[in-house]
Amino acid sequence: MEHYKRTIPKAGEKWQHFKGHAYKIICIAEDAERINPVVVYQGVDDCACWVRPLSMFMSEVDHEKYPDVTWKWRFQKVADADE
């Protein structure tokens, strides 16, 4: 797995997207075709499930596209989902 400067999400953790939505991490999975890790996560409020490449999940906010956003990271760990 590629080295990231941040702690990799773990199942059960709660992470928040810079736009405000909170998500529970389901797991880190491998893409069978490209062998790239992906994050499987579920909306805390709506229970919708999502998949995103781990590298994108862990990336910085595109401040050219979103100049008013003060967050550095696209997703930030908030707390365990059970809290």
Token couple for 48: 């919708």
Assigned CATH class of 13-80: mainly beta
pLDDT band, very low/low/confident/very high, at 34 (cuts 50, 70, 90)? confident
pLDDT at 14 over 50: yes
pLDDT band at 56 (very low <50, low <70, confident <90, very high): very high
Report CA-CA distances (Å) from 13 to 32, 35, 46, 48: 24, 23, 17, 16
pLDDT tens-place string over residues 59-74: 999 999 999 999 999 9
Task: Return the closest-CA partner of residue 12 out of 28, 23, 31, 26.
Answer: 26
Residue 19 DSSP code: T
- Bridge partners of residue 38, in order along the sequence: 29, 53
- Under the banding of pLDDT at 50, 70 and 90, the label for residue 2 is very low
Instruction: Measure the CA–CA gap between 31 and 39, rounded to whole angstroms.
Output: 10
| Domain parsing of the chain, residue ranges | 13-80
